[in-house]
Structures are given as C-alpha cells and as structure tokens.
Chains A and B, each alone.
Chain A
C-alpha cells in the first residue's frame, strides 16, 4: 500500500491538534477537538475546513462548452462568467462517475472541482471524452490549495481579510480576489448547508491563508473542523457523498438528483439510459430517515419491511448533533419507500421515519 497523500496543510493540522486518518488515500484530520462540537460550531458560528485534497481541472478551448454539455448532466449553457453549477457526470449506463462543480471563467475557459478520491479516474475519463472535441482537460489538483469557511459568521470573518465585497458575490457565484494578501478564487459555495465561502489559492499560499482565517475567526467563535463534521453536516443538509448516495451503480435519478439532469439540453453521456429510467420510474431510490433514537445506523445495515424482508441497505448514517438523534440515508426498492421500514441494531428494531432533507433548517443565500 502506498503512503497516503498529504495536503499543503499537513503540518498545520498536526500543529493545531488534528487527529489524522487515512481518507480516500489522503492523510486528513477527522477532527481536532470533537466532531459534535465542530459540527455545532459550523451551524452556530463558523468552521474552517481544509479541502485541499479536492481535485481541480481546467477545461479550455473553443469547444469547451460543447464538451461539457456532452460530459455532464446539468445544462452548462446556463453558465456565465462568475457562475458556478453543481452537476454529475455519468457513465453510458447512467451510473455516476462523480459529482462536481463547474465554474465558468470565460467562453473558452472553465474550472472544475472534483472529489479527492476520484481525481485519477475523473481526469482519465474526462480526457478520454474530450478527444472528440477541440478542447483540453488539464489536471490542476496539485497546484491548488482549498479552504472552506462555513457557517453563519463565515462570510463576515473572511470579509475582515479582503477588499472584495463578499456580499456582492451571490450564492453559487465566484470572483477572483485577494484574501489575507493571497490571490484566491472566492466561491460562494460549500458542502454544509450553511452560508460561507470556498477559497481556492496556490498550494504554497494555503497555509498562510488558513492561519489568517484562523486568527481572524477564532475570536468570533470559528473552530477548525475536520472530515467527521464535514460528513455529518453534509448528511444533515441532505447532500450526496460519492461512494454512498451516488456511485457508478446509482444513477442521479435514483439518488434524487433529477434536478441536475437536463434532458432538454441535448444528448449527454448516459442520457438515453437515464431518459428510459425516468420514463419507467427508478427501480430503487435514496431515502433519508431519522429514528428518534441516538443509536447510529451504520452504512450497509439492512433495511427491512414490515414482514422482515430486506428491501434495501443504509448508505450513510450518523448522529445529528442538532436533532440529537440518528439520521441517515438508504437505498431501497422504490415500491418499499412508501411502506413502514425498519433496521435491526444488535437485536433492537428501530423504525425509520422517512423525511425530506434537510434535517435542520438551513441558510439560503
């Protein structure tokens, strides 16, 4: 097994007490102080996450848009410079290669953010698909560091460090700027359901940026937050995680991401299979649940119907620190999704209460 990869903030994490774990081949902090406290800090104040392990790619050339329209399911023609789009890219069978953000910098110039564990696979897939188009896909993952500053106080904290008008950058928009003297792409995006920014900068500058955000934010209640809180925050918000709610075997329609699948824009990879799936109705669906109990329902637990038959499996499960009860998501047979469902936790049957996420009220920018 090869040694895990490190982000430019590895020494920063160790200096600040990060508890390091292997995550998708990356040596990353799962927590600093307490996952539950970091989660609450993000919901109530602000949290700083190192997301430098995420991948980035440039897509450039006269047919960049034409290529992206073929590659991804959402409609990139709706983009304009400064706008960000959430989408998935699919295999021909409708399964998901990855979910990603597409940033439009100019008519021939796009910037993508992809999942850390999928970088090699995604770049190879995209470069293969790009062969038919007059454009290039360049892996920029090693060039960028990335921070996520999330929570109701996040924008105010970063505003201390920049002359850019952050309030003037709307949700899912971005601008180039300087934060703490570091050149950044300032993006009003995030993965927690809270207000905030994601900052992309040169890998060599990200430690300086992180220390500056920490220094500005800690007096206001900002905390360092690790991957543990990132996962519970995204699940509480009802956001999918690649490898859980979406995989190469779970289509965006099955995952409830029909809103990023735009059939009217013309064909894209997987669109014929997805159109057939939509017409017929997905055979399975991702549902979100809570239990009224604190026992965490772990991924891969069997989901049972009233007769005790297995009708699905849990794909994500955690404790919502805000609701103080277990929450999760499961992939179940579509016909079962309207029936009473339960899981067995070490001999205790817990009924699943299906809910439409988010599990807690979230800030909408």
Chain B
C-alpha cells in the first residue's frame, strides 16, 4: 500500500504539494511514484528563480529502469531546490514526503493548490 498523507495535495502526474501559510509550497513526487520508478539514481531540477507554469516539466527523475519527467502541479516561482538530491538522489526513495522534497515554490495562486486532488482523490487515481 502506498503512503498518501492526508495533509498534502496531489497531481494526477504523481507530484505532491504542501502549502504553507505564507504562500510557499514544497513539491515532490509521491510514494507511489518513487516505488514505481524503483532505485532513483539522478534528479535534475530547475534553477532557482525559474517561473513554472502549471503542468510544465520542471525536471527529470531517473531510475535504473527509466527517466521520467516531473511536472509542476501548480504555477509558481522556484525559491529553492533540494540540493541534497545531487549527491543522494536515493533520498526520494527513502523519504519521498520529507528529505526527498524537490522544489520550494512561491505559489502564484493558493486556490490552485486547493483545486488539486486530496488524498482520497489521489488514492482513486492510483487504484
């Protein structure tokens, strides 16, 4: 069974968003996604300051098996990327919702986060 925390929002493309009160948000990939990919060997992330549109590719997650694009679940500006993933991409496998976070975004529209899937909705997507 995949771990789907109730306090996050989800995109169908398997990214999660954790919105803070100040309008910033952390973004990563779900437990289901990391488990489907298998051993993650490389994570390519955007530059700080990049402006992302909702649904836009922001990077690539590579596993032993395949390279997969990752998508911005909402529009926003990249405030920070998780540089620890350069040396230790396996953190995404070990801790997809905490140490394996990928982006910190300044979210353009907080309402767009609320419009994403909740845990039950995402659970239905992954069946």
Contact = CB atoms under 8 A, between A and B. Distances in A.
Interface in B82-127: 89-90, 93
A35 B67 contact: no
B62 interface: yes
Contacts of B93: 34
Contacts of A319: 41, 64
B38 A296 contact: no
Interface in A84-131: none
Interface residues on A, range: 10 to 19
Contacts of A232: 64
Contact of B64 (A295, A318, A346): A318
A50 B26 CA distance: 42
A244 interface: no
Interface in B10-47: 38-39, 41-42, 44
A296 B41 CA distance: 8
A232 B42 CA distance: 16
Interface string B54-93: 0000001010110100000000000000000000011001
Interface string A36-74: 100000000000000000000000000000000000000
A296 B60 contact: no
Interface residues on B, range: 10 to 19
B64 A296 contact: yes
B64 A228 contact: yes
Contacts of A228: 38, 64-65
Nearest to B41: A319
A296 B67 contact: yes
A294 interface: yes
A292 to B, nearest CB: 13
A319 B66 CA distance: 11
Contact of B39 (A36, A295, A298, A346): A36
Contacts of B62: 294-296
A19 B90 CA distance: 19
Contacts of A316: none
B67 A31 contact: no
29 contacts: A19-B38, A30-B38, A31-B38, A34-B38, A34-B39, A34-B93, A35-B38, A35-B39, A35-B64, A36-B64, A36-B90, A228-B38, A228-B65, A232-B64, A294-B42, A294-B62, A294-B89, A295-B42, A295-B62, A296-B41, A296-B42, A296-B62, A296-B67, A298-B67, A318-B64, A319-B41, A319-B64, A346-B44, A346-B67
Interface of A: 19, 30-31, 34-36, 228, 232, 294-296, 298, 318-319, 346
